[in-house]
Structure 1
Amino acid sequence: MKKFIKFTRFSFLLGFTSFVYGQDAVVVSPDEKLKVELTNNLGVPSYSVVYEGKTMLEKSPLGFKSNVEDFTKGMKFINSKKDKISKKYSNEKIKRSQVQYNANVVICSYETTSGKKLDIEFQVSNNNVAFRYLIPNQGETLSMVITDEATGYRFPSQTTTFLSPMMKPMTGFARTAPSYESGYKADAELGTKADYGYVFPSLFRVGNDGWILLSETGVNSLYCASHLDTTSEKNLYKVAYPNMAENNGFGSTGAAISLPGKTPWRTITIGDSLKPIVETTIPFDVVEPMYEPSQKYTFGKSTWSWILWQDNSMNYEDQSLFIDLASKLGYEYILMDALWDKNIGKDRMKNLIQYAKSKNVNVLLWYNSNGSANDAPMGPRNKMSSAVERKKEMKWLKEVGVKGLKVDFFGGDKQETMRLYEDILSDANDFGLTIIFHGATLPRGWEVMYPNYAGSEAVLASEMLYFSEDVRKQEAFFATLHPFIRNTVGSMEFGGTFLNKYLTKSNKEKNKRHTTDSFQLATAVLFQNPVQMFAVMPNNLEDAPKFQLDFMKEIPTLWDETIFIDGYPGKYSVIARRHQNQWFVAGINAEKTVKKLKINLPMFAGKKVKFINDDAQGNSSEKEVKVNTKGDFNVEIQPNGGFVLRN
């Protein structure tokens, strides 16, 4: 990320406020539509959020418990300081390559009855709130363990939820859970309990008043990742720390920090429509790079055999075929997945990398992260979990010309695991390697924080379309959720876009796909990740229509602009993305009937564009159409179908 402008902050102190005073501070967004009020009622700090005069979050608790002090009660408001922030930055890996961030800031200072101090910082931009705790030295105490948070979100009673539950620790394949790979329930009742809480991001509809997206960002090795949980009060959700059973029961559940210290940012995106939810950049606005890139990293498209050809394809001959496929498609990468170390070996891998290089294809290799955290048997194992082995392995990888790694099976949000993520990324940067995480947690601002980071799975992704008929049946439902929830806060390495009618190597007999070809092509636009493993197979060069192959050759993975067009989570989604001067508008339909839409596309006004769509039988085709001078366009999306427009 390159920062262009950062204006100097200015500040002033507001007067002393007593213990019993109601309102401590107010901060509004630059457009004055969004307002946060901080109060301190009987020593308990809280905040509320109002958007365009409507209460979106009622008084919600703040504070945390630690081994130094309980900062959830007996708090005395001391003063507040107001600032402004304005900065412009660029990042090619996120939904918008050029971002201007403007926010109003308030920092409220509190003190406990024993004299311990705490600051709470709120940044309020248009449609977004970000807040965190700033913890000064506590006298001679220069370290702290935070064990629990009171941080909460109290919703109006008309709210419904769109949430994905945390997985039970040490379950699933080889005891690798939780890995953020559960499904969702749409428009569920407020306060519905999940055994292990819910993952971030979390979407809420506040009746007819608007939408709220909750998440967190800026999590690094200095803190644990958190999630959302219900409370005894139906309307109140709270921040929760990792379950002790994660990572084989080893490691802490809270966060050990040095003082002065700070927590990650908790983010709230609010709008009267879904447009601010889809277009928000708040996960990236409030974080900064952790280190400088050791080189210029490149991103793009990749082939991978494993998604349909599975473990048996991890051999020299099949990988050569997928190198050839990448070359014919003009893809930058091939991913060689698990078991390459056993079935190909390092000596022959050198030759395979040289063959790929001769075809202008770069190689990504799969690694198991696990060490002692789980039982995943696939190799290479125990190469990423210790610093000594990791650096030796990365030295070899650089020497033979590997460009990046896909590291799998993390299964936890503890601070120890966050440290492992960061150590892998930092060491990889020293050796010029990009990193993709699989079987992993949600990325929390990592596109900005780590220059060689290239995406995470953290979603019920393409491999489950291969393994589960139930997931195949719900593919459209889940896909219409991702642009509004998972993918809007961070890169999502989904690994899909299937051209096979049957999700098998033979492309027949079993695992029949329930979605249309147009639907699959649309997901290549809807799902954003700087390096995307697409599920195009060698047989598709012969059995897929030319227009589909041309589209898969043309589709970029880096975007300069993202715009919400229309949609409702779990029903349908229409998103526009721009790469340089080319626009792609894609939509999908998860409902059981044809979706008839009139959409406004000013980027295509008065222009002829290519239009991929389905007929009533679900057959896909491409034709040229002209959008009227007002940019209005009528489209019909078939059930489990999709469409794409591009100039």
Structure 2
Amino acid sequence: MKQRLIIFIFFLISITNFAQNVSVVSPNNKWKVELKNEQSASTGTWYLKINSLKENTNYDMIPKIDLGLLRSDQDFSNELKFIKADKPKLINEQYTSLHGKSSQRSNSGNEVVLYFENPSKAKLNVIVRAYNDGVTFRYEFPEKKGTFTIKDELTAYKIPDSTSRWLEKFDLSNEGLYTNMKDASVQQDWCYPALFNVKDDTTWYLIHEADLNRSYAATKLTNTITESEYKVTLPGQDEGVGEPLPIINLPWKSPWRVIIMGSLAEVVESTLVDDVSAPSVLTDTDWIQPGVASWNYWSNNHGTKDYKVVTEFADLAAEMGWSYTLLDWEWDQMENGGNLEDALKYIHSIGVKPLMWYNSGMFKWITSTPVDRMKTHENRIEEFAKLNKLGVYGIKVDFFLSEKQDMIKYYLDILDDAAKFKIMVYFHGCLVPRGWQRTYPHLMTYEAARGAEWYNNGPELTITAPEHNNVLPFARNIVGSMDYTPVTFTNSQYAHITSYGHELALSVVFESAMQHMADRPEGYQNLPDAPKTFLKHVPSTWDETKLLDGYPGKFTVMARRKGLDWYIGGINSDGRREKVQNLKFDFLSEGQSYKLTLIADGEYDTLFSTKYMVVDKSSSIDVTMLRRGGFAAYISPIK
């Protein structure tokens, strides 16, 4: 009996010590994730700790990430017993993306599975991965049957007050402005993604979630309980349609909790949100064709009611060599020389492909037409069959304004049905990307950002756009395509104060697989040859992306490669002084000369200054950006 007691005590001590030493390290030995127990015991409350190991130093990146779930039948938080941890294994998957910031992707990281059980012997696993560009983890209920409600998720990130942060107040449209704060003194609900800069100034991280599916709701971050802890929070009762708490069926896995980490460039260039999401459900993808589109809403809010306006924007697309034109809301009310069928016939006759807008139909108070053609499976099948006959290539669906489980199902139902008819899709008035563009590659882009449309809504964007435009590349656009509808030289209802060089650069700085150029026809037709030619050829998908320089809210210099050619966009937000940007070309191939076309700000904001020169990997030039200015560049190899 005494011997058995000694063995049992030794077993408990071993379990406790092992639990306190469970960790997983990234393949490049840069990040370490450790499992910790609040009570320094084998049973209790658990959390993760993320350390930076760079330069042989070990310091806390995120000192504490609370773990736990509350399920309708029982608690998986306070009295969790650690059972074991698998040995770390390498996840190594290579895949190709049809669109986004890069074409060749790698999902490569080290994974460890942590096994727990609660006092009722119910099982909970936590799957943790350490990547070269971040850390991800998710929950798993491995048992084979049962239907339950998730009452709360207890994941919470403890962020030291020494950490700078860029956060957007939560709103169901995800169209707010980011605020830069030095601490957590503002307490409220926050949108994803959330950007942080640790006190060493060289290390950054972005918190988000990925691989959300029908089995859960989208979440947000909240620091209303403890100001320094940003808790993962399920939708509130009053936030859109449906029940706020998700219902799950076992076995079940949560979305990934994603922390992208590294230098600012490494965070911007990361594809981790897509990497951890489910692979494509499609085998035939030849019909998916990203591109550039003309768009009439920005300059004429009711333009699609007018056949002549629709044909003018189709002509613009043909003239500029853009593949698409979008027929926005009210196309079912078209008059002044023709109806929808007439317009589509004309669009096809000039070699342009039509896209069409739809109301989600989920809110009775949003009456923009057409309203009810997407709402049910039967509606969609009938409508998609018509669109196939009419030769329509894609749809824009608007007004979701909910992140509950029922709405997540609705998004994915639209994507599933559209794929059967080979129709591309993009969402407006919607949630921020969660990795769906990998799983559903016919999903081209999302709004979920305060874009140029807001020049119609009031004077606010006129003043805030320069800084706002310089935050988006470091936050929202990192996690997926963003339909900002950029590049406007004329004015909408409210003027912009960004320079022509700044606006031209947005075609490169902002990534969207379906890029809608928002200006009226004369805005592009009146451009000088160099910027007009640039916009005729700028791609909407990229093989490689590099952040050359920048700082959130201040300035951005982005380089993107398509084939052998490079495009660069640079924008400045300083309203008081010009910025001289030193532009190095060390990202170019060794031993190759390139022709550079540089289209920069002229003497004042509506003028361009264009230069041509030969550069190579060793070259360096200075480019002057006006106070709210910018520049664009095209670099092609000399054969």
Structure 1 segments unaligned to the other structure (5+ residues) = 1-13, 168-177, 505-510
**Between 386-395 and 622-631, the greater mean CA deviation after superposition:** 622-631
Decide whether the 8 Å contact of 1:304 with 1:335 is kept in 2.
yes
Residue 143 of structure 1 pairs with residue 134 of structure 2: no
Residue 604 to residue 236, structure 1, CA distance change in 2 (3 Å): same
> Residue 204 of structure 1 aligns with which residue?
196
Q: 1:24 touches 1:40 (CA, 8 Å); kept in 2? A: no
Runs of 4+ in 1 over 4 A off after TM superposition: 14-17, 19-22
User: Paired residue for 2:118, among 93, 97, 112?
Assistant: 112
Give the stretch that moved more between structures: 329-338 or 597-606.
Answer: 597-606
Backbone CA RMSD of aligned residues: 2.0
Match of 2:156 in 1: 152
Residue 260 in 1 paired to residue 254 in 2? no
Question: Residues 238-274 of structure 1, C-alpha deviation per residue, up to 9 Å, x if partnerless?
Answer: 1011121122xx4122221110110001100112x20
Letter in structure 1 aligned against 2:47: S
Query: In the alignment, is residue 41 of structure 1 matched against residue 38 of structure 2?
Result: yes
Partner Cα separation in structure 2 for residue 22 and residue 453 of structure 1: 42
8 Å CA contact 2:534, 2:634 repeated in 1: no
Aligned partner of 2:432: which letter?
L
Q: Which moved more, 1:288-297 or 1:155-164?
A: 288-297
User: Measured at CA, do residues 307 and 336 of structure 1 come closer, stay the same or move farther in structure 2, by a change above 3 Å?
Assistant: same
Counterparts in 2 of 1:633-644, with a 5 A limit?
A: 633-644=621-632
The structural deviation recorded for 1:233 is 2.7
- Whole-angstrom distance in 1 between the partners of 2:154 and 2:604: 53
**Is the contact made by 1:336 and 1:363 (CA closer than 8 Å) also made in structure 2?**
yes
Cα 1:327/1:542, change in 2 over 3 Å:
closer
Q: Distance in 2 between matches of 1:275 and 1:181?
A: 24
Q: What is the CA-CA distance between 1:128 and the residue it aligns to?
A: 1.0
Q: Is the 8 A contact 2:162 2:182 kept in 1?
A: no
Aligned residue type for 1:365: M
Which of 415, 428, 445 does residue 425 from structure 1 map onto?
415
Please state how far the C-alpha of 1:72 moved relative to its aligned partner: 1.3
**Per-residue displacement from partner, 1:57-92 (whole Å, max 9, x unpaired)?**
012211111112211110010000121111110002
Q: CA–CA distance in 2 between the matches of 1:374 and 1:264? A: 31
* Equivalence for 1:173: none
CA offset digits 1:497-527 (Å, max 9, x no partner): 1022x225xxxxxx32201111001100011
The residue number in structure 2 matching 1:274 is: 264
- The offset of 1:21, in angstroms, is 6.5
TM-superposed deviation, 1:45: 1.1
Using the TM superposition, name which of 467-476 and 29-38 deviates more. 467-476
Q: What is residue 192 of structure 1 aligned with on the other side?
A: 186
Give the drift of 1:156.
2.2
Alpha-carbon distance in 1 for matches of 2:344, 2:356: 10
**1:623 corresponds to which residue?**
611
- Give the aligned partner of residue 598 of structure 1: 582
SS at match of 2:48: strand
Which secondary structure does the structure 1 equivalent of 2:75 belong to? coil
Distance in 2 (CA, whole Å) between partners of 1:450 and 1:302 is 21
Q: How does 1:346-361 map to 2 (within 5 A)?
A: 348-361=339-352
Deviation at 1:541, TM superposition (A): 5.0
Is 2:305–2:332's contact at 8 Å kept on the other side of the alignment?
Answer: no
CA displacement 1:444-485 (0-9 Å, x = unmatched): 101111121111000001110232211121111111011110
Aligned partner of 1:329 in structure 2 is 320
CA–CA separation in structure 2 for the residues paired with 1:349 and 1:232? 53
1:170 aligns with none
Cα drift, residue 312 of structure 1: 4.2
Deviation at 1:644, TM superposition (A): 1.3
Check if 1:563 corresponds to 2:546. Answer: yes
**Which residue does 1:466 correspond to in 2?**
456
Superposed displacement of residue 622, structure 1? 1.3
> Aligned equivalents of 1:50 and 1:159: distance in 2?
15
Identify which of 239, 244, 248 aligns with 1:246: 239
Kindly state the Cα deviation for residue 581 of structure 1 after the two structures are TM-superposed.
1.0
1:547 matches 2:539: no
* 8 A Cα contact 2:466 2:573, kept in partner: yes
> What displacement does 1:189 show?
2.6
Asked whether the 8 Å contact 2:384–2:421 carries over to 1, the reply is yes
Q: Are 2:59 and 1:71 equivalent residues in the alignment?
A: no
Distance 1:41 1:480 in 2: 40
Give 2:305's aligned residue.
Answer: 314
d(CA) in 1 for partners of 2:364, 2:464: 29
Letter in 2 for 1:328: E
For structure 2, the residue ranges without an aligned partner over 5 or more in a row are 1-10
Q: Separation in 1 of the partners of 2:14 and 2:401? A: 46
Quote how far apart the aligned CAs of 1:628 are.
6.2
Tell me how far 1:344 sits from its aligned partner.
5.0
Shift of 1:20: 7.9
Alpha-carbon distance in structure 2 between the residues aligned to 1:326 and 1:312: 16
Deviations 1:146-187 (A, max 9, x none): 1211101112230121001112xxxxxxxxxx1101111123
2:536 counterpart SS class: helix
Q: In 1, distance between residues paired with 2:233 and 2:426? A: 26
Quickly say closer, same or farther: Cα 1:400–1:17, change in 2 above 3 A.
Answer: farther
1:397 is aligned, of 387, 397, 404, to 387
User: Does residue 237 of structure 1 match 2:225?
Assistant: no
Equivalent AA in structure 2 for residue 212 of structure 1:
Y
The residue number in structure 2 matching 1:228 is 221
Q: Distance in 2 between matches of 1:48 and 1:598?
A: 39
Correspondent of 1:31 among 22, 25, 28 = 28
Q: If the length of structure 2 is used for normalisation, what is the TM-score?
A: 0.92
**1:370: how far off?**
2.4
CA distance in 2, matches of 1:182, 1:492: 14
Deviation at 1:103, TM superposition (A): 0.5
Letter in 2 for 1:367: Y
Q: What is the match of residue 574 of structure 1?
A: 557
**Counterpart in the other structure of 2:7:** none
Query: What residue identity is the alignment partner of 2:623?
Result: V
Q: Which moved more, 1:597-606 or 1:407-416?
A: 597-606
Contact 2:334/2:340 (CA < 8 Å) preserved in 1? no
Distance in 2 (CA, whole Å) between partners of 1:344 and 1:299 is 30
Instruction: Return the alpha-carbon distance in structure 2 between the equivalents of residues 617 and 392 of structure 1.
Output: 53
Quote the offset at 1:629 in angstroms: 5.2
Instruction: Judge conservation of contact 2:585–2:616 (CA < 8 Å) in 1.
Output: no
**SS of corresponding position for 2:261:** strand
Alignment match, 1:376: 366
Q: Are 1:646 and 2:638 an aligned pair?
A: no
In structure 2, the residue corresponding to 1:309 is in which secondary structure?
Answer: coil
2:291, 2:513 within 8 Å by CA — same for their partners in 1? yes
Using a 3 Å threshold, how does the CA distance of structure 1 residues 22 and 121 change in structure 2: closer, same or farther?
A: closer
Counterpart Cα distance in 2 of 1:27 and 1:17: 19
Q: 2:108 aligns with which of 86, 102, 107?
A: 102
Looking at structure 2, the residues matched to 280 and 155 of structure 1 have their Cα atoms a distance apart, in angstroms, of: 22
Shift of 1:390: 1.6
Q: Distance in 2 between matches of 1:328 and 1:246?
A: 44
Alignment of 1:606-621 (within 5 A): 607-618=594-605, 619-621=607-609
Q: Distance in 1 between matches of 2:30 and 2:588?
A: 31
CA distance in 2, matches of 1:335, 1:222: 33
* Superposition deviation, residue 295 in structure 1: 4.8
CA distance in 1, matches of 2:34, 2:122: 23
Structure 1 residue 604: deviation in Å? 4.8
